[in-house]
């Protein structure tokens, strides 16, 4: 069983930076792809970035390309989302999720509870 716990959110001014962390537990997490999703008020949850188990493959939504960087440390069972040049439209609850069978499966088996990121203008 995998448990995910996000941390690192808060309030920041536009142009600022945050690093979100996702602490994972469970034996299968190191072999699972991990993704960061976000959900803004009144909107659907959106996939923001993903990283494969080996870190070889990453994906970014167009809106965050060049500003966000996803990384992982399997030894520490941690996944990070470095966010820079933040914009008010980045305001959302950010979730990390793990996919046992890879991103292409579209099946996100485990979810964290989310962490709020608020960007003021």
First vs last C-alpha separation in the chain: 40
Under 8 Å between Cβ of 116 and 9: yes
pLDDT in tens, 38-66: 999 999 999 999 999 999 999 999 999 99
Structure confidence at residue 2 (pLDDT): 84
pLDDT at 28: 81
User: Which residue stretches of the chain have pLDDT < 50?
Assistant: none
Q: What does the pLDDT read at residue 106?
A: 86
């Amino acid at each position: 069983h995998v448990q995910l716990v996000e941390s690192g959110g808060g309030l920041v001014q536009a142009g600022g930076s945050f690093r979100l962390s996702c602490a994972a537990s469970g034996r299968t997490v190191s072999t699972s792809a991990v993704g960061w999703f976000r959900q803004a008020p009144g909107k659907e949850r959106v996939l923001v970035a993903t990283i494969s188990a080996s870190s070889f493959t990453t994906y970014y939504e167009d809106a965050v390309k060049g500003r966000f960087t996803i990384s992982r440390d399997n030894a520490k069972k941690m996944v990070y989302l470095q966010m820079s040049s933040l914009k008010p439209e980045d305001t959302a609850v950010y979730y990390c999720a793990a996919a046992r069978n890879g991103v292409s499966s579209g099946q996100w088996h485990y979810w964290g509870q989310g962490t709020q990121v608020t960007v003021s203008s």
